[in-house]
Structure 1
Amino acid sequence: MAILKHGALQPNEWQELSDDAPLPESGNIIVSLERWRRDEEVLRASNRPIGLRLQNNQSPLALADELDRMSLVVIEFPKFSDGRAFSQARLLRDRLGFKGEIRAVGNILRDQYLFMIRCGIDAVELPDGKPIDGYLDALNEFSVWYQPAADDRVTAMSLRHGKKKTTAGASTVVNDSVAAMWAY
Structure 2
Amino acid sequence: MQRIIKNDQVIDETWHLLPKDVTLEGLSNSDDLIVPLALWRDHAHALKARDGGLGVWLDSDEEVEEIAEDLQYFQVVALNFPVFTDGRHFSSARLLRERYGYKGEVRAIGDVLRDQLFFMKRCGFDAYAIRPDRDPYDALQSLSDFSEVYQAATDQPLPLFRRRG
Q: TM-score higher than 0.5 here?
A: yes
1:38-62 CA-partner distances (Å, limit 9, x unpaired):
1111111114321001001111012
CA deviation after TM superposition for structure 1 residue 152, in Å: 2.6
- Out of 83, 96, 106, the position equivalent to 1:92 is 96
**Is 1:61–1:96's contact at 8 Å kept on the other side of the alignment?**
no
Query: Which residue identity lines up with residue 125 of structure 2 in the other structure?
Result: I
Bigger CA drift: 44-53 or 12-21? 12-21
Whether 1:37 aligns to 2:41 is: yes
Alignment length (residue pairs): 161
Bigger CA drift: 69-78 or 10-19? 10-19
Whether 1:116 aligns to 2:120 is: yes
Which residue number corresponds to residue 147 of structure 1? 151
Q: For the aligned residues, what is the CA RMSD?
A: 1.8
Unaligned regions of 5+ residues in structure 1, if any? Answer: 163-184
CA deviation after TM superposition for structure 1 residue 133, in Å: 4.2
Provide the rounded CA distance (Å) in 1 between the counterparts of 2:163 and 2:84: 33
Provide the rounded CA distance (Å) in 2 between the counterparts of 1:54 and 1:13: 19
CA deviation after TM superposition for structure 1 residue 104, in Å: 0.6
Whether 1:138 aligns to 2:142 is: yes
Provide the rounded CA distance (Å) in 2 between the counterparts of 1:123 and 1:110: 13
1:159-179 CA-partner distances (Å, limit 9, x unpaired):
32x3xxxxxxxxxxxxxxxxx
Unaligned regions of 5+ residues in structure 2, if any? Answer: none
Bigger CA drift: 31-40 or 3-12? 3-12
Larger radius of gyration: 1
Percent identical among aligned pairs is 37
Whether 1:49 aligns to 2:53 is: yes
Q: What SS does structure 2 have at the residue aligned with 1:66?
A: helix
Provide the rounded CA distance (Å) in 2 between the counterparts of 1:38 and 1:54: 15
Which residue number corresponds to residue 7 of structure 1? 8
Query: Which residue identity lines up with residue 153 of structure 2 in the other structure?
Result: A
* Higher RCO (Cα < 8 Å, 6 or more apart): 2
